[in-house]
Amino acid sequence: MIASFNQPQRQSKVGILVMFFYSLQKLVRVFFPLLVLFYVKSENLNLLLVIPGLFVGIALLAVFAYFQYLNFTFYIDEENEEFIISEGIFNKTKTAIQLEKIQQVNINQSLIQKIIGVYALEVDTAGSAKKEGSIKAISHNLALALKSRLLDNEKKVLQDYSLNLDVPPIASQEPKPFIKISLLTLLKIGITSNYLRSIGLLFLFYSYVQENLRNFSETDYLDGSQLDDFFATQSILRAVLIVGIILIAIVLVVNIVRTVVKFFDFTISKQKGSLLLSYGLFNTKGTIIKPEKVQITTITRNFFQRKMDILEIKIQQASSGELETKKDVTEIPGCNENEKNDILKLIFNTIPEKGVMMKPNWRRLGFSFFLGIIIPLSFYFGFGTYLEPLAFDYAFVAVGYTIFVAIILIFSYRNNRLFVSDNYINIQSGAWDVDNRIIEIGKIQAVTTSQLFWHKGPDIGSLTIHTAGGDVHFSLGNFTTVKNYVNLWLYTVETKNINWM
Amino acid sequence: MEQFSNNTIDIKQLPRFETVAFQKLEPNYWKVVLINLFITVAILSIGLGIVYYLVDEFRKEAIYLVITLGVIIAITFVFSRISFVKKGFAFREHDVLFKNGIIATNTIIIPYNRVQHVALHEGWLSRYFGLAKVEIFTAGGSSSDIKIPGIEKEQAEKIKQLLMGKIQQQL
């Protein structure tokens, strides 16, 4: 039997049941707490009211399911080579998916579908997280036929494609490791990374101890002199300091152990143009990086790491099908400048140059000061003045906070840069850990420019670059230049047909 | 071998997206927005009315609540209007542009060769006015999708065909 999908067709008739149970499930899930509450609250439920109510509800659901079934159709438009799904009762949606864009077709069965004896068919294209099209009730034979019909097209394209790829013959050899990350490097990484996290933890710990200390002194030294109080805090401050140092040591040890266990014997080898990574102390993990799939390459380095000539690389690839929710991120925990260049060469074929630099406008600093310092401080003063004068006893926290945040904001402003060269965009950001995010211009999926109306005068605005591996944002640059870049990038993307995954 | 040239691109000669004339949404779509707003307000008012009727203490304070509600409705109305007026779209030869925003002006541009799939969405109210929403999806996740509401059904169909046609041309 050759199934034809040229005419709009409905799902299996039993699909009504599937739809019914799905909506019932959804409804029960939403209203379950309410139902329980209702049941507990009123002991003497009027069954004469409840049972007809339930019946009416179920009947409505059934009618709803029936119309859902009636309005759900799918077919393949042979002329335009697209798969079309129409659905909806009141709000109608018609989704059209180009056949050659379809990456995966999954045939699944949930419990309900298993009981009823039908299958679900889900169509997945590149990038976005959710399934683009899904049919909830279809017989197995039909599902298989539709799947092969949907993928039929893709195979053709893929074959063409691989032919093109093979033109420059790549010497196929045994994978031989070309970068090995030594234990020493891992130790260095363990000491130098996650610093902020440690500081944050320390801060949290300190404020916690401080809090308890206050409670303690308030109850015990209620009538005690100021002097007593002072000495008490002094000695406890010293204890806190010691505990803090121990804590830092613990955090460092944990960091080192974590890094070593996770990334022990990190080996990178080449195979047919792809990068093979394998690492792990107890169980060895392996990852493949395909250069054409790489969307964003992040190089991270902080002050200490720069002194030690080590850096971390994160590679975001286009997420394909299976990894729906989590972005496909691969970490290379530590390498030096030369190794970094080797890796970049493998991914990009060259070392991406930085190109022309753009600084953000000073208003970016002003705005982050406003958000990070002025608003919290005004809350603090407002709280202290009108609600709880005791809050001013903690003024040192406010001062500490202001200094800390100000330093972070100033550094992150100073580090924030946009570099644009012929083929690459490099966005630098971060206060302590400085990230350089490199995007190949051909990998751009879409571009957003954004400008607040009071920024028209000073001619500044923001830029967001969307790729299949995530978005990258640059705030408040010179808007005329940004627009020129966007025009150039669009030109590049639209004239060349670069394979972005 | 195709003729190969590698001339320097004069950036000033490139087509400029910022000078594109944007097409406005259908005036009827404003009615859809208004009716939606009205329905929300109606539901809120009925709720308030019931509370007013049932809770005695509420009656004294009711006036402030009504004023707050009125202010919120007025602001929502103004914002909806600004948002409606500022929305615009344009289809160029190689890409689609969509402009939106209330205090900011956001312009998102998707090149046709990055479009993954297209959907036409008709809300029940929009359908009554013969309007549809064109949804254009890329592989860049939800932040890089364009959803243009308030387009006449026929035009929306044409846009879909155009987009599909453009996607086809890439092969």
- Name the nearest CA neighbour of A324 among A471, A472, A126: A126
Percent of chain A with pLDDT over 90: 18
Give dist(CA A93, CA A134) in Å, integer: 13
For each successive 10 residues of chain B (171 residues), what is the average pLDDT? 64 83 92 93 87 77 83 93 94 91 93 88 90 89 86 89 69 41
Instruction: Please answer yes or no on whether A125 and B171 come within 8 Å at the CB atom.
Output: no
B-facing residues of A in 461-480 (CB < 8 A) are: 464, 466-468, 470-471
Confidence of residue A253 (pLDDT cuts 50, 70, 90): confident
Q: How many CB atoms lie within 10 A of CB A492?
A: 18
Q: A330 with A341: CB under 8 angstroms? A: no
Which stretches of A288-336 are DSSP H helices? 303-308
Query: Which helix or strand (DSSP H or E) is residue A264 part of?
Result: none
Helix (H, G, I), strand (E, B) or coil at A365: helix
Residue of chain A whose alpha carbon sits nearest to that of B161: A80
- Name the nearest CA neighbour of B150 among B73, B79, B89: B89
Confidence of residue A263 (pLDDT cuts 50, 70, 90): confident
B-facing residues of A in 147-186 (CB < 8 A) are: 157
> Which residues in chain B have Cβ-Cβ distances shorter than 8 Å to A132?
116-117, 137
| Segment A429-445, tens digit of pLDDT | 988 889 999 999 989 99
Please identify, among B41, B64, B83, the residue that sits at the C-terminal boundary of a domain: B83
State whether B163 and B95 are in the same domain: yes
**In sequence order, which residues have a C-beta less than 8 Å from that of residue A384 and are 6 or more positions away?**
A391, A392
Q: A234 with A145: CB under 8 angstroms? A: no
The pLDDT of residue B47: 86
State whether B102 and B78 are in the same domain: no
Q: What's the topology of domain A15-165?
A: PH-domain like (2.30.29)
- The arithmetic mean of pLDDT across residues A150-175, rounded, is 49
Q: What DSSP designation does A387 have?
A: I
> Which residues in chain B have Cβ-Cβ distances shorter than 8 Å to A451?
104-105
State whether B95 and B157 are in the same domain: yes
For residue B114, give how far its alpha carbon lies from the nearest alpha carbon of chain A (Å).
6
Q: Within a domain: residue B6?
A: no
Q: How many residues in chain B? A: 171
**pLDDT higher than threshold 70 for residue A202:** no
Range of the domain at B125: 89-169
> Which residues in chain A have Cβ-Cβ distances shorter than 8 Å to B8?
none
B-facing residues of A in 48-67 (CB < 8 A) are: none
Domain boundaries, chain A: 15-165
Output the DSSP codes for B54-109: H-STHHHHHHHHHHHHHHHHHHHHHHHHHHHHH-EEEE-SSEEEEEE-SSEEEEEE
Q: What DSSP designation does A381 have?
A: H
Identify residue A100 by its one-letter amino acid code. Answer: E
Q: What DSSP designation does A9 have?
A: B
The pLDDT of residue A89: 87
Q: Within a domain: residue B9?
A: no
Residue in B111, B117, B161 nearest the CB of A125: B117
CATH of the domain at B143: 2.30.29.30
The pLDDT of residue B62: 76
The pLDDT of residue A164: 39
Residue with tokens 């309900």: A112
Identify residue B118 by its one-letter amino acid code. Answer: V
| Segment A321-339, tens digit of pLDDT | 444 444 578 888 888 888 8
State whether B104 and B153 are in the same domain: yes
State whether B105 and B78 are in the same domain: no
Give dist(CA A31, CA A236) in Å, integer: 53
In sequence order, the β-bridge partners of residue A14 are none
- Whether chain B has a CB inside 8 Å of the CB on A320: the answer is no
> Which residues in chain B have Cβ-Cβ distances shorter than 8 Å to A88?
122
State whether B95 and B163 are in the same domain: yes
Residue of chain A whose alpha carbon sits nearest to that of B117: A97
Instruction: Please answer yes or no on whether B167 and A493 come within 8 Å at the CB atom.
Output: no
State whether B96 and B68 are in the same domain: no
Q: What is the count of residue pairs from A and B with beta carbons less than 8 Å apart?
A: 156
For residue B170, give how far its alpha carbon lies from the nearest alpha carbon of chain A (Å).
8
Residue of chain A whose alpha carbon sits nearest to that of B120: A94
The pLDDT of residue A322: 45
| Segment A465-478, tens digit of pLDDT | 998 888 899 998 99
Chain-centroid distance of CA B130 in Å reads 16
Q: Within a domain: residue B136?
A: yes
The pLDDT of residue A405: 92
Q: A294 with A316: CB under 8 angstroms? A: yes
**pLDDT higher than threshold 60 for residue A155:** no
Phi, psi (5° rounding) for residue B64?
-65, -40
Give dist(CA B148, CA B160) in Å, integer: 12
Which stretches of A273-336 are DSSP H helices? 303-308
State whether B33 and B65 are in the same domain: yes
| Segment B20-61, tens digit of pLDDT | 899 999 999 999 999 999 999 999 888 888 888 887 777 777
Q: A14 with A114: CB under 8 angstroms? A: no
The pLDDT of residue B107: 95
**pLDDT higher than threshold 70 for residue A198:** no
Residue in A97, A127, A453 nearest the CB of B139: A127
How many domains are there within chain B?
2
The pLDDT of residue B48: 83
If one compares B102 and A51, the residue with the highest pLDDT of the two is B102
Quote ipTM for the complex.
0.86
State whether B67 and B98 are in the same domain: no
State whether B106 and B154 are in the same domain: yes
State whether B104 and B152 are in the same domain: yes
**pLDDT higher than threshold 50 for residue A91:** yes
Q: Within a domain: residue B14?
A: no
Interface test with A, best of B144, B146, B171 (most A CBs within 10 A): B144
> Poorest-confidence range of A79-83, A91-95, A342-346, B166-170?
B166-170
Please identify, among B48, B83, B118, the residue that sits at the C-terminal boundary of a domain: B83
Residue in B108, B109, B117 nearest the CB of A95: B117
- Name the nearest CA neighbour of A170 among A11, A291, A259: A291
Phi, psi (5° rounding) for residue A334?
-160, 130
> Which residues in chain B have Cβ-Cβ distances shorter than 8 Å to A101?
116-117, 167
Instruction: Please answer yes or no on whether A491 and B116 come within 8 Å at the CB atom.
Output: no
Residue of chain A whose alpha carbon sits nearest to that of B17: A487
User: Encoding tokens for residue A32?
Assistant: 């379950």
Give dist(CA A163, CA B84) in Å, integer: 49
Identify residue A372 by its one-letter amino acid code. Answer: G
Give dist(CA A98, CA A77) in Å, integer: 9
Helix (H, G, I), strand (E, B) or coil at A76: strand
Q: Within a domain: residue B42?
A: yes
The radius of gyration of chain A's CA atoms, rounded to the nearest angstrom, is: 30
State whether B95 and B165 are in the same domain: yes
Give dist(CA B9, CA B29) in Å, integer: 42
Q: What DSSP designation does A223 have?
A: S
Interface test with A, best of B113, B116, B133 (most A CBs within 10 A): B116
- Whether chain B has a CB inside 8 Å of the CB on A483: the answer is yes
Q: Within a domain: residue B53?
A: yes
Q: B100 with B106: CB under 8 angstroms? A: yes
Q: Within a domain: residue B15?
A: no
Helix (H, G, I), strand (E, B) or coil at A191: helix
Please identify, among B83, B98, B124, the residue that sits at the C-terminal boundary of a domain: B83
Chain-centroid distance of CA A213 in Å reads 40
| Sheet with A424-429: strands ordered across | A328-335, A311-317, A294-301, A434-440, A424-429, A417-420, A356-358
